Structure 1
Amino acid sequence: MIVTFTDFGITGPYMGQMKARLLQYAPCEPIIDLMVDVPAFQIAYGAKLLAGLVENMPEEAVYLCVVDPGVGGQRKPICLQCDGGWFVGPDNGLFQYVIQSNENVQAFEILWRGETLSKSFHGRDLFAPVAGMLAQNIDFDKAAVPVDDLVTLSATVSGEVIYIDGYGNCWTDIRHNDITISEPLMIGTQTLKYADVFCDTEEGHAFWYFNSSGFVEIAVNQGNAAQILGLVLGSQIKRN
């Protein structure tokens, strides 16, 4: 199984071109789009979302991960063997939290190059072929690198909106093991209490809960939390 995780979105040619290249190298391998709307260019948000989302995915998959505003620059192309699976993408911090959550990690710089390599689309021309070869257990040119030498992100304190879904629900970077259900959250002057599920609150009321991927999510029962509460990416969520 090959799993994609990108900020490409669903419009334009990018996902189609990358998946077509995947199928050239792994024609019988199922391809699952885990997330195609990572907030554009937001490596730190992508890193947190990726680590949370893969908790409910098969370990043995090959994860093709492209949030790569530095494409064509000095960042290395890498692949990581993490326990039973592989992660392929740029060395820009995108895999930081995946690495932290796995006990056995080996890192490699990708040295393989195909016949053509666009300066601006390594997802199609470099990462997709490598992911396909990994899925088929085909060897390619790579060199081991120390995990400690990989790019790391600046330390941040959790408590901001990192993703807004199509319903207007706001995912925060607070994880299920970082907070207790007795803690209210503050958005401006408004206090939000915990509820298990949407139907535990009145229609139109805001609350917070643990979503199915283990993130604290701000929601409104049958309403758009982002619009109603004025939340955008990066909005701060205060804890009492």
Structure 2
Amino acid sequence: MIVLFTDFGTRDPYVGQVKARLAEHAATQQVVDLLHEAPDFNPHAGAHLLAAFAPVFPPGCTFLAVVDPGVGTPRHAVVVQAGGRWFVGPDNGLLSVIAARHGDARLWRIIWKPEGVSPTFHGRDLFAPIAAEIARGDFPADKLTPIDALDVEFDAGDLARVIYIDHYGNAWTGVRGVPQNAHVSVAGERFLHGESFGLVGKGEGFWFINSVGLLELAVNRGSAATTHGLAVGDPVQVQRLN
């Protein structure tokens, strides 16, 4: 299985081109579109989203992860093995949180330079062929070199900021493991805890732990982002009580 995680969006031709390259090199592999609306140009937010999503997928799968505002610059390309899963993408911090949260992580730099690679589309020309080889069980040792550390490493602890806003207007944060009695506030507004949408009144704001273990802010049958003016990057205050 190859899992796609990008900021490419779905209205443009980029995802289709990546899938065509994957079909060329790994025709028998199932390709799953996990997310193509990761926050644009924001590998920090993407790193925390990717780390939260990864455990939902079975060991052995390969993630092709591209949030790459530095494409075409001297930034390196890497392969990470962590938690029994594979990750292929840029060395800009995007893969650093998942690597740091697993003591078994192994790292390689991609040293292969394919002929005709586009300086603006490494997702298609560089990352996709490597991900395809790994997914079909042909580890490309001749195209990689082991490394001890990534060039860019984000703090692997919780990120107390909004990291994603879904189409409902729910605001995901990079905070995990919050007890129900915690005080949570953002943009000057206090949110009370609720287990789920149907357990709070229509139009009421609340926070909950979502299906991938992250603290999420929502308004029942409404948009937390619109109601409270929330955006990716906004700080979130979480006070854990004794």
TM range (shorter): over 0.9
Give the Å deviation of 1:11.
1.2
> TM-score when scaled to structure 1?
0.94
Residues 1:13 and 1:201: Cα distance change in structure 2 (over 3 Å):
same
Give the Å deviation of 1:230.
1.2
Pairwise mapping of residues 24-63 of structure 1 onto structure 2 (< 5 A)? 24-63=24-63
1:204 aligns with 2:206: no
Give the Å deviation of 1:155.
8.1
Give the Å deviation of 1:205.
0.3
Give the Å deviation of 1:149.
4.4
Q: CA RMSD in A?
A: 1.6
> TM-score when scaled to structure 2?
0.93
Pairwise mapping of residues 197-236 of structure 1 onto structure 2 (< 5 A)? 197-236=196-235
Find the aligned partners of 1:97 and 1:154 in 2 and give their Cα distance.
Answer: 7
Find the aligned partners of 2:150 and 2:41 in 1 and give their Cα distance.
Answer: 22
Q: Secondary structure at the match of 1:192?
A: strand
Q: Secondary structure at the match of 1:78?
A: strand
Paired letter, 1:204: G
Find the aligned partners of 1:90 and 1:18 in 2 and give their Cα distance.
Answer: 15
Find the aligned partners of 1:20 and 1:64 in 2 and give their Cα distance.
Answer: 14
Bigger drift between 39-48 and 155-164 goes to 155-164
Give the Å deviation of 1:98.
0.4
Verify the 8 A CA contact 2:96 2:156 in the aligned structure 1: no
Find the aligned partners of 2:101 and 2:158 in 1 and give their Cα distance.
Answer: 18
Q: Secondary structure at the match of 1:180?
A: coil
Verify the 8 A CA contact 2:162 2:235 in the aligned structure 1: yes
Bigger drift between 23-32 and 158-167 goes to 158-167
Give the Å deviation of 1:103.
2.4
Identity of aligned residues (%): 39
Paired letter, 2:228: L
1:192 aligns with 2:194: no
Pairwise mapping of residues 1-240 of structure 1 onto structure 2 (< 5 A)? 1-140=1-140, 141-146=143-148, 148-153=149-154, 158-175=159-176, 177=177, 179-240=178-239
Give the Å deviation of 1:154.
6.2
Query: Structure 2 unaligned runs (5+)?
Result: none
Q: Secondary structure at the match of 1:103?
A: coil
Aligned residues: 237
Give the Å deviation of 1:236.
2.0
